[in-house]
Amino acid sequence: MNTRSMGPEAGVPAWEIEVGEQPLDRPAANSIGGWPFLDADQEWPSCGCGERMALFFQLDLPPEIAHFGGDHLLVFHCRAHNDASNPPVDADRLASRFWDAPQLSLPGPFWRTLLQRGPASATKPEPHVRALPLTLRPFIDEPVRPGYGAMLFKVGGLPSWAQGPELYECACGAELVYLCQVPENLTFLTHPGAPAQPYGDRDGYQLFLGNEVYFLACPQRCDPAAIWPVNQN
Ligand SMILES: [Zn+2]
Ligand SMILES: [Zn+2]
């Protein structure tokens, strides 16, 4: 939802993402790890290093979410890479096909976020991240100060902006719209014996070095991967 069209004092509908404790033994659309629900023409993403990325989480977005309601959001990140995202920008506009831009010394990115519209079918499960159910709990994100929402794992609402608003124009010319937030240092638990993540937590993997992540997506839907993960701490 476009926060700039909201009054600065107004609460904004949001959904807290709650992580369940009982491991999943079958596909679920809302999950950490688990079975990715990918469109038929969408392959499981691979990192620029060649390694298949880990599925961190996926969600069916509530129908009330502006632009993206009913879409399926998937967040993948390489287990072997762990760094902050580096926006390929010219002024404040992201470069053409910014979602495929090189990162670190790789020929491509070490993460992939997708908005899928299905019909999708679950594929094989994510092998390393433990499959746990996610539940969306609606709440009104009351600004803690004008334009700043709660620091939670959530979709919708207002970003909590650890370092102040950071907005981008998509390569297609549309203003990217805030969609989803992952709080700082959230660990995605892994199975015992799973390969470690560099600089990671012993119990699991983190996104972008544990930075707070604000996912901004293209409301024109110019590509399923036209989503930028703003990192702040
Ligand atoms: Zn990698
Ligand atoms: Zn776009």
pLDDT tens string 34-67: 999 999 889 999 998 999 999 999 999 999 999 9
Cα–Cα dist 82/85, whole Å: 9
Taking the centre of ligand 1 as the mean of its atom positions, its distance from the CA of residue 51, in whole angstroms, is 6
Taking the centre of ligand 1 as the mean of its atom positions, its distance from the CA of residue 226, in whole angstroms, is 20
Taking the centre of ligand 1 as the mean of its atom positions, its distance from the CA of residue 144, in whole angstroms, is 37
User: Which domain range does residue 99 map to?
Assistant: 12-232
Cα–Cα dist 35/70, whole Å: 18
Residue 122 pLDDT > 80, yes or no?
no
Q: Would you say residue 3 lies in a domain?
A: no
Give the global pTM: 0.94
Total domain count, the chain: 1
Q: Would you say residue 93 lies in a domain?
A: yes
Query: Cα angle vertex 18, ends 134, 124, to 5°?
Result: 20
CATH code of residue 54: 2.30.320.10
Q: Would you say residue 6 lies in a domain?
A: no
Secondary structure letter of residue 11 according to DSSP: -
Taking the centre of ligand 2 as the mean of its atom positions, its distance from the CA of residue 98, in whole angstroms, is 10
Q: Where are the beta strands (DSSP E) in the chain?
A: 12-19, 31-32, 37-39, 54-60, 72-77, 89-90, 93-94, 111-116, 120-122, 132-141, 154-156, 177-182, 188-189, 204-205, 212-217, 227-232
Helix (H, G, I), strand (E, B) or coil at 208: helix
Length of the chain: 233
Q: Would you say residue 34 lies in a domain?
A: yes
Specify the pLDDT at position 160. Answer: 96
Q: Would you say residue 1 lies in a domain?
A: no
What is each CA distance from 206 to 56, 188, 203, in whole angstroms?
Answer: 9, 6, 10
Cα–Cα dist 52/48, whole Å: 9
Q: Would you say residue 7 lies in a domain?
A: no
Q: Would you say residue 4 lies in a domain?
A: no
Give the pLDDT mean for 151-180: 96
Specify the pLDDT at position 5. Answer: 47
Q: Would you say residue 76 lies in a domain?
A: yes
Specify the pLDDT at position 8. Answer: 53
